[in-house]
A and B are shown apart, each in its own frame.
Chain A
Amino acid sequence: MSEAEKPTVRLPVAEELIVSTSPHIRGRENIPKIMIQVLIALLPAAIAAVWFFGLHALRVLALCTIGCIAVEVVWNAVAKRPTDTWKDGSAAITGVLLAMNLSAGAPWWICLLGSLLAIGLGKQIFGGLGFNPFNPALVARVALLIGFPQLMTTWVLPRPGVMTGLDALTGATPLALTAGEIAQQPNILSDLFFGNVGGCLGETSALALILGGLFLLARKLIKWQVPAAFIGTVALISGIVNYFNPEITAPPLYHVLAGGLLIGAFFMATDMVTSPMTTLGALLFGFGCGLITSVIRIWGGYPEGVSFSILFMNALTPLIDRCTIGKPFGYVRPQKEE
């Protein structure tokens, strides 16, 4: 056949040519690639969590991730929608983020209930990926926090390197400490930085979170404006308050490293679906998150305000996007008045 074909020139078969609009080539990015990179960015924090809280952290991580994927598949099967959407990786991210919001001592049913709330109430009920107004993991966290305040605010103390067993002792999250108590702990900042503190899985090691965040920034998966504005605002407000009255609140560095600020700023507030698309909008969004977080932390009833602030700003995202549309190239005012 090849001999017979050689002298004649082969032309394309016209009937097989695909027609579509331009452009006909595309960048290599797709949703699963983005999601896998986010998962990679979460890896250091997950490893740190396992290091400090042992296999129980791994259990929570696994339960939440599998739970979220399972809920998505079942939901879609029941709703007669394509059931392979979990393959895009977004459910897994929600699961990992949810686990990051739970304590290593969380019972299995909390993990599964959280998964149901996150994927069901937080995402699928709105139509799945891309349509959810709120960050699904945070929806679950806040629902659990309100539903089971006792369970959600008791933390396991870290035991670096010890894999099995749980520390019977439970302690308060470092954010609940008063300024006086902080002053008695000289190593608190370095503990916070490396993660040797009690709290949710994702509230431990600032170092691991920053590593992951830098990875996301380097891969341009998140807008730098959001974490910068978020963390900056918290540092600024707590700094000012601390300067004038150290009794009310801890110093800014402490505020930045402790609690869920870093994971919130790098991984939750930057969620593409629920944060603004415009650059100015991202700045405003981060600022709003920071402001609300500071107010709740310093004067509010809850020790932590990151999740509430992000959820609140999520609700404002469409408004922010609408208000921050820039002028298009070559924009002319409809009527020019002299």
Chain B
Amino acid sequence: MSSKPRKFKGGVHPNDSKALSETKPVQEAPLLEKYTLIVTQNIGAPPELVVQKGDTVKKGALLAKAGGFVSVPLHSPTSGTVTAVDKCPGPAGVRVPAIEITADEEDEWGSPFEPIADWQNADPDMLRQRVADAGIVGMGGAGFPAHVKLTPPPDKPIDTLLLNGAECEPYLTADHRLMVEQAEDIVRGAAILKRVFGLETAIIGVEDNKPDAIAKLKEIAEPYGIQVQNLRVNYPQGAERQLIYALTGREVPIGGLPMDVGCAVQNVASAAAVTEAVIKGRPSIERIVTVTGEPLVEPGNWRFRIGTPVSKAIELAGGVTVQPAKLLLGGPMMGIAQKSLDVTIMKNTSGILLIPTEQVSQYSSEPCIRCGRCVECCPMRILPATISQAVENERFDLAEELNVLACIECGSCSYVCPSHRPLNQHFKRAKAEIAAKRQKG
């Protein structure tokens, strides 16, 4: 491991705007009367409900069990009654199945499992099962079930465990605050994950713009045999492939997974959730969310229970002074624009961001002037301009030939495009069309 991180080609340097919330300590969000939990919080199979309307549940009780291997269970964020099993606005804009829990204000724990006190000597399979039972997903944004990454097939042994604390998205500071305030939890989580893989070491990668987090983690991580590596400030440094390259020099093949190059990557928040699940015996029912943006009265970081409506989070941040142009779940580069305030916080919601009109990028389909800025900044080294033109002409075969499937949708190309072309949307379309074609066979 070299002390200097490698630089991946490309990337952009947006104004990080983290100052709004990076010094704000994490506050506990007050208990709400009602929580609406979206049933499918993960990539993969939807979980299967195990409760019905009218059931009473304890805090941490199982609401839905995993609907397959690539799926995670869902637990109750508080004690109370299941008052509705219906639909609610989902993060992608369409209504999705959801469970409504009305709190009884007791907030009484009823965790389905016990703490594993002696985790240092525990059986790796038991730890792995615990991660699966606790419903932990990739909390950086993707929502990939954590236990799947811990269960590589025998022909793909994991030799490197990486923790992603890059948080390269502008505005977001949830991971930053977590690393400063709960460094111990992250490091212990990393140690547990190390034990699952039987590895001697692990690396936590943190971008250079968080020196306090790096210092804090270094101090705590050393006795556990875990390295802390500072990373260049370059978006998308926190994208899985770019992070692996920066820390190990390995390139994850297109269409492949980190396990193809012997790596396992977990978000720092997921690592902290692992600590909660193993050492405290608590399922994943809360997370730190940055509620930020210039229109807000008081941006900050809060620990919210999963299922908290976005409107409540905005209320906690003091509401808005002006009407924002967009409401996003996630950061400004990869977050999803919302059209409803009723959408609720999910396990992979790292931020609730309100951007003012003057900051918003308005797309227009002006012609490409072939300046090549997108080619320069593309971290996947594909030709965004050429692909977008192919998509405009509905040449999805050409787009596929030009490796549109390698695109990680980081948005760097759209960020730099002087013609304000909606490049990312073109790629999403191409991917959707190619997937549909493949499904047809």
The reply to whether A and B meet directly (CB within 8 Å) is yes
Q: How far is the CA of A314 from the CA of B291 in the complex (A)?
A: 50
Say which one of A140-148, A164-172, A299-307, A326-334 lies at the interface with B: A326-334
Cross-chain contact B339 with A17 (CB below 8 angstroms): yes
Interface residue B361 (Cβ < 8 Å from any Cβ of A): yes
Interface residue A223 (Cβ < 8 Å from any Cβ of B): yes
Enumerate chain B residues within 8 angstroms of A327, measured Cβ to Cβ: 381
Cross-chain contact A10 with B402 (CB below 8 angstroms): no
Enumerate chain A residues within 8 angstroms of B441, measured Cβ to Cβ: none
Cross-chain contact A278 with B367 (CB below 8 angstroms): no
Give min CB distance, A83 to chain B, whole Å.
15
Q: How far is the CA of A132 from the CA of B415 in the complex (A)?
A: 25
Cross-chain contact B314 with A330 (CB below 8 angstroms): no
Say which one of A18-26, A54-62, A150-158, A193-201 lies at the interface with B: A18-26
Q: How far is the CA of A31 from the CA of B367 in the complex (A)?
A: 10
Cross-chain contact B327 with A17 (CB below 8 angstroms): yes
Cross-chain contact B359 with A25 (CB below 8 angstroms): yes
Give min CB distance, A5 to chain B, whole Å.
10
Interface residue A11 (Cβ < 8 Å from any Cβ of B): yes
Interface residue B93 (Cβ < 8 Å from any Cβ of A): yes
Give min CB distance, B276 to chain A, whole Å.
30
Interface string of B416-441 (1 = CB under 8 A from A): 11111010110010000000000000
Give min CB distance, B404 to chain A, whole Å.
10
Say which one of B43-51, B264-272, B330-338 lies at the interface with A: B330-338
CB within 8 A of A31: which of B252, B359, B369, B379? B369
Enumerate chain A residues within 8 angstroms of B402, measured Cβ to Cβ: 325
Cross-chain contact B338 with A26 (CB below 8 angstroms): no
Q: How far is the CA of A26 from the CA of B366 in the complex (A)?
A: 15
Known interface pairs A17-B326, A321-B386; A26-B367 also in contact (CB < 8 Å): no
CB within 8 A of B337: which of A12, A20, A330? A20
Say which one of A69-77, A105-113, A123-131 lies at the interface with B: A123-131
Enumerate chain B residues within 8 angstroms of A19, measured Cβ to Cβ: 93, 326, 337-339
Enumerate chain B residues within 8 angstroms of A17, measured Cβ to Cβ: 324-327, 337-339
Interface residue B97 (Cβ < 8 Å from any Cβ of A): no
Give min CB distance, A27 to chain B, whole Å.
5
CB within 8 A of B323: which of A9, A12, A29, A31? A12
Q: How far is the CA of A13 from the CA of B341 in the complex (A)?
A: 9
Interface residue A277 (Cβ < 8 Å from any Cβ of B): yes
Interface string of B331-356 (1 = CB under 8 A from A): 01111111111000000000000110
CB within 8 A of B369: which of A11, A25, A129, A276? A129
Across the two chains, which residue of chain A brings its CB closest to B411?
A23
Do most interface residues of chain A lie in helix, strand or loop, or is the interface mixed?
Answer: loop
Give min CB distance, B330 to chain A, whole Å.
8
Interface residues of A in 308-331 (CB under 8 A from B): 321, 325-331
Cross-chain contact A25 with B361 (CB below 8 angstroms): yes
Enumerate chain B residues within 8 angstroms of A321, measured Cβ to Cβ: 383, 386
Q: How far is the CA of A173 from the CA of B427 in the complex (A)?
A: 51
Cross-chain contact B379 with A278 (CB below 8 angstroms): no
Cross-chain contact B338 with A278 (CB below 8 angstroms): no
Chain B interface: which size bin? 35 or more
Chain A interface: which size bin? 35 or more
Q: How far is the CA of A29 from the CA of B416 in the complex (A)?
A: 7
Q: How far is the CA of A33 from the CA of B253 in the complex (A)?
A: 38
Interface string of B369-381 (1 = CB under 8 A from A): 1111101000111
Interface residue B8 (Cβ < 8 Å from any Cβ of A): yes
Enumerate chain B residues within 8 angstroms of A272, measured Cβ to Cβ: 369-372
Give min CB distance, A231 to chain B, whole Å.
20
Q: How far is the CA of A14 from the CA of B340 in the complex (A)?
A: 5
Known interface pairs A25-B359, A330-B406; A9-B367 also in contact (CB < 8 Å): no
Cross-chain contact A12 with B324 (CB below 8 angstroms): yes
CB within 8 A of A34: which of B254, B371, B385, B425? B371
Enumerate chain A residues within 8 angstroms of B256, measured Cβ to Cβ: 330, 332
Known interface pairs A11-B315, A23-B333, A25-B360; A128-B380 also in contact (CB < 8 Å): no
Interface residue B251 (Cβ < 8 Å from any Cβ of A): yes
Q: Which of A272, A277, A321 has the most CB of B within 10 A?
A: A277
Across the two chains, which residue of chain B brings its CB closest to A130?
B367
Interface residue A335 (Cβ < 8 Å from any Cβ of B): no
Enumerate chain A residues within 8 angstroms of B157, measured Cβ to Cβ: none
Interface residue A273 (Cβ < 8 Å from any Cβ of B): yes
Enumerate chain A residues within 8 angstroms of B419, measured Cβ to Cβ: 30-31, 130
Cross-chain contact B318 with A9 (CB below 8 angstroms): yes
Interface residue A16 (Cβ < 8 Å from any Cβ of B): yes
Interface residue B3 (Cβ < 8 Å from any Cβ of A): no
Enumerate chain A residues within 8 angstroms of B321, measured Cβ to Cβ: 10
Cross-chain contact A11 with B311 (CB below 8 angstroms): yes
Top 5 A-B pairs, shortest CB-CB distance? A23-B411, A130-B367, A26-B361, A9-B319, A277-B372
* A residues lining the B interface (CB < 8 Å): 9-14, 16-27, 29-31, 33-34, 127-131, 223, 272-278, 321, 325-332
Given A11-B320, A17-B338, A332-B253; 16 other pairs, CB 8 A cutoff: A9-B318, A11-B315, A11-B319, A17-B324, A18-B360, A22-B332, A23-B333, A23-B412, A24-B355, A25-B14, A25-B15, A27-B416, A34-B369, A34-B418, A278-B372, A328-B254
* Interface pairs (7), CB distance under 8 Å: A12-B341, A14-B327, A17-B337, A22-B411, A24-B332, A24-B361, A277-B375
